[in-house]
Structure 1
C-alpha cells in the first residue's frame, strides 16, 4: 500500500491536543489528592499544553515544547533507556485498562537499550516500520497490536514475521498501546470528543479496572443543537483524508445535541449508546446488520450514525499521545525526540460513488 497521505491542518486538532494535556493534568491531580495513584498507576504531575500551534501536516517534534518546561539551570536531561519509557507509558496508559481480549505492551525490544527517537503510528505495517527505521527511531509505539493471536513462528516468510525481523535487525523496539489508550483519560475517544467540542463527556462503557472517567467511548453534549449534516461535514474536514470518507445515516437537517463517540470499531457498543439516549453515534467500521438494527430499534431512527475510517478516527490521538509522553519523560528527567508517522495506513485506495 502506497498512498499519498493527506492529514488535517485544523485548529480543532491543535485545540484537542492542548485540551488532552490539560485533561490528563487535572486527572493526575485528582488521583494524587485522593491517594489513588498507587491503586491505578504511578502518576506524575503533568505541566499542561504546548504554547505553539501544532500542524499535523508537518513532522511532529514535541521536544521543542518540552524544552520550555525545563529550567535552564536544571540538571541536563538524560537519554532514557527503553525501560524508562515503559514506566512513563504505564503512567499515561496503564495496562490494567486494557480489555481482557487485548494484547498490549512490549512486543520487540531490549529494556536496557537507549531510546532517543520515538515514533507514534496507528498500525505496525511494513511501510510504517520502514518509515520509522528511515527516521532513525529506536522505538515505534503503535495503537494497533502486531500480534493479536498466538503464533508458532516469526519466520520472515509472512508479513508479521518480516515485520518482527525488520524491527530487530533495525534496532527498533515495538510497543502497543491499544484499548488502554482508548480507555485512559486523554485517550482516543477523549480526543475525538474534544475535536467535536463535547462537554460533560463520560465513558460509554466504564472500565472494569479504572476510575469512573475511564472506559471505552465517550458521550457528551455539543455546545448547542447542530444539524446532522453540518456535524458530519465538520468531522470530515477534521479527519485525515482517506478514500472511504464519512458515511451518514439520518436526516441531513435533523438537529442533534447529545453525541456518543468511539474511536475505532464501535458497533459492539450499541446497547450502551441506546442507554445513553444519544442523538447520534460517531464511530468506525459499522457493519450492515448492527447499523440497520440500531436504526430500526426506535421509530424516530435515532441514534443517527456517522461512520468514519477506522484509521482516521484513531490517528487524531497520536499528536496528543506523543505530546503527553514527551512531557512525562521530561518530568522524569529524560529527553527524547518524538514524531508522528505520516504514513496513511487506511487499507482502501479509492471508492466509487453515484456520479463519481
Structure 2
C-alpha cells in the first residue's frame, strides 16, 4: 500500500495547489504523511455526516472539494462542528485533503464533469487560464449538444443528469428557445456573466445565482434573442459529478503504480436545503393587482 505522502503527491499533480485562488485553502488538512493508504473517499463537503461515512467505510483518506477551514482558524477544539470533524478524523486515522479552485481550473476539472453529466461536448474553457498554452485549463466550460433541444428539454436533461436536491433546478428563459451551445460553471457562477455574454451561448448552467445578476442577465438577453437563458442548480449538485471523475483519475494512477487502492464516492446529500415548498397564493399573471 502507498504512503499518504505518495497519494497526496499524485493528487497535487492532478490539481497543483499553486493554481488555486489566493484566497483559497487547499491541500492536506490533517493526516500523517507516513501512514499507509488503502481506501479513499471522495465528497464535496467535509461535514460531520461525511466524516462519519469516511470512518464507517474504513477510509484512510477523505478528499473533499470544499475546504474545511476556508477562512482560517486559531483552534481545532471540538467545541465547534469543524473541530469535531477534525477530532473524529484524527481519532480514526483518516486524513483530509482539499482540492478546490485548483480542481476548478484543472484539465479535466469540475466543470468538465458537470458538462459530461448534462450531455455536453466540451469545446473549451469559459475563462481560459493564461498560463496554459494548450488552452484547455480555466474556469467554466463551453459545450455543445449533439442535437438541438428546447430550453425546457435541456432543463429536463440537466435535472436527470445531476443528483436530486430539494430545490431542484430554476430556469429563466423561453421554454421553447432552441439550445445548441451551453456554458457551465460548477459552483457559484454569477461572477462570470460577462464571460458568458461574450461567449454568445444559448444557456448558462451554474449555481447560486443571485437576484440582481440574474435579473440583469435576463434583461440584457431581451436585446440578444433571449440569450443566455439561465439554469440554476444546487451548488452541491453541480460539483458532485467531479467526485466520480476524481475517483476515476485516482483509480488510473493506482493501477499504473500497482497501489491497489479502493476508491469510493460519497452519495450523502450535503446540500443544506432539505425541503421545497411552493406558494399558491401569488401568481405571475398580474403581480401588481390589488388584493
When normalised by structure 1's length, the TM-score is 0.75
Provide the residue aligned with 2:190 in structure 1: 267
* C-alpha distance in structure 2 between counterparts of 1:351 and 1:319, whole Å: 27
* C-alpha distance in structure 2 between counterparts of 1:256 and 1:234, whole Å: 12
**Which is worse superposed, 116-125 or 204-213?**
204-213
* C-alpha distance in structure 1 between counterparts of 2:75 and 2:267, whole Å: 30
Which has the larger share of strand? 2
Aligned partner (choices 335, 339, 342) of residue 267 of structure 2: 342
* C-alpha distance in structure 2 between counterparts of 1:348 and 1:91, whole Å: 34
Say yes or no: does 1:328 pair with 2:250.
no
Provide the residue aligned with 1:12 in structure 2: none
Q: In the TM superposition, what is the alpha-carbon distance from 1:256 to its structure 2 partner?
A: 1.4
Cα pair 1:97 1:210 within 8 Å, conserved: no
Cα pair 1:193 1:201 within 8 Å, conserved: no
Q: In the TM superposition, what is the alpha-carbon distance from 1:332 to its structure 2 partner?
A: 2.1
Cα pair 2:118 2:161 within 8 Å, conserved: no
Equivalent residue runs for 1:34-183 within 5 Å: 79-183=1-105
* Structure 2 portions without partners, runs of 5+: 282-291
Provide the residue aligned with 1:192 in structure 2: 114
C-alpha RMSD of matched pairs (Å): 1.5
**Which is worse superposed, 224-233 or 95-104?**
95-104
**Which is worse superposed, 314-323 or 194-203?**
194-203
Provide the residue aligned with 2:216 in structure 1: 293
User: Measured at CA, do residues 169 and 283 of structure 1 come closer, stay the same or move farther in structure 2, by a change above 3 Å?
Assistant: same
Say yes or no: does 1:252 pair with 2:185.
no
Q: Kindly indicate whether structure 1 or structure 2 has the higher relative contact order, using CA contacts under 8 Å at least 6 residues apart.
A: 1
* Cα-to-partner distance string for 1:233-269 (whole Å, 9 max, x where unaligned): 0110111111000000001111111110001111111
Equivalent residue runs for 1:309-324 within 5 Å: 309-324=234-249
* Cα-to-partner distance string for 1:191-250 (whole Å, 9 max, x where unaligned): 121233323521111224444100110012212321000000011011111100000000
* C-alpha distance in structure 2 between counterparts of 1:264 and 1:207, whole Å: 18
* Structure 1 portions without partners, runs of 5+: 1-78
Q: In the TM superposition, what is the alpha-carbon distance from 1:326 to its structure 2 partner?
A: 1.4
